Structure 1
Amino acid sequence: MATDWRWRAFDALTARELHDILKLRCDVFVVEQACAFPEIDGRDPEAHHLMGFEASGLAGCLRLFGPSAEEPAWRIGRIAVGPGQRGTGLGHRMMAEALRFAAEGSPGHAIVLSAQSRLEAFYARHGFEAEGLPYLEDGIEHVDMRRPGHTGLT
């Protein structure tokens, strides 16, 4: 199935796109994972947003923060894949698209993320390595992961 990838800065998101992103993230993180946390954290306006649309609508999304003085690496977060698309390879295609975007935007910078520990092997397939010990975030075990300076290839 072909995925329609769309990158948007926050201010370029349509009302429908923003609604679909927030709904998917709430469905996955708050409802499915039974995790009460501030999903709308005030950081979305700073991010690049990747949306993957399929025939059924928004199938997956993530947000990507560019390198800054505070964090000299790209940071991927809020990676969500709808239940109906899991196991189809959408998550891997979404990560490949994020790596491509980062490599084109600022080649050579590392990429970091905070992974749910159960997904550590998934991210390792994209060149990420665990850093430090696992920790609890919102009641779910996570581990920080880093992908050294990259070429955008998975």
Structure 2
Amino acid sequence: MELVTKTFEELSTKELYQILQLRSEVFVVEQDCVYQDVDGKDEKALHVLGIKNKKIVAYTRIFKPGDYFKNPSIGRVVVSKEERKYGYGKVIMEASVNQMNKRFPNNSIELSAQTYLIKFYTDLGFKTLGEEYLEDGIPHIRMIRK
């Protein structure tokens, strides 16, 4: 899997379509959650793409401090269902953390994690912060990596 980081303006129309398609496949269809994925924040984000055979199979978006949380943050972490067995979730998260450390050094990194993924994020150095809450009807918890 090739890893590429782009601003919104650098994304091609095809890449943007694939990102939105992947997020919809997983977050809306697979997780059966009707929510507004196109939230107006993609234009502020940096987009970390995991590309395999010319198709985006893993993705995150990252934000500078203050654009989503007080700290720099990672969101919309997603891997296509067919590709999860290869460990691409860990690969795309490590690439995202590396981008954050390069672009926003000496900052904590925050995210809003689906609670069933706490162990996944804990293994990547994140710690839970606060209580569980519902986001779009799905249990989440705030997590931070110092």
The two structures have a TM-score, normalised by structure 1, of 0.91
User: Residues 44 and 67 of structure 2 are in contact (CA less than 8 Å); yes or no, is this contact kept in structure 1?
Assistant: no
User: Would the aligned equivalents of 1:72 and 1:109 in 2 still touch at CA under 8 Å?
Assistant: no
Q: Which consecutive unaligned segments of at least 5 residues does structure 1 have? A: 149-154
Taking a change above 3 Å as real, the CA distance of residues 83 and 13 of structure 1, as seen in their structure-2 partners, is same
Q: State TM-score, norm by structure 2.
A: 0.96
Which letter maps to 2:10? Answer: A
In the alignment, which residue of structure 1 is the partner of 2:97? 99
Deviations 1:123-144 (A, max 9, x none): 0011100011111111111000
CA change 1:50–1:69 in 2 (3 A) is closer
Distance 1:16 1:70, change over 3 A: closer
Deviation at 1:68, TM superposition (A): 3.3
**Superposed counterparts of 1:1-154, under 5 Å:** 3-55=1-53, 57-68=55-66, 71-148=69-146
Letter in 2 for 1:102: M
Q: CA RMSD in A?
A: 1.4
Tell me how far apart the structure 2 counterparts of residues 144 and 71 of structure 1 sit (CA, whole Å): 10
Question: Once superposed, which parts of structure 1, at least 4 consecutive aligned residues long, lie more than 6 Å away?
Answer: none
Identity %: 36
C-alpha distance in structure 1 between counterparts of 2:43 and 2:70, whole Å: 19
Deviation larger for 35-44 or 99-108 = 99-108
Listed as ranges, the gaps of 5+ residues in structure 2 are: none
SS in 1 for 2:62: strand
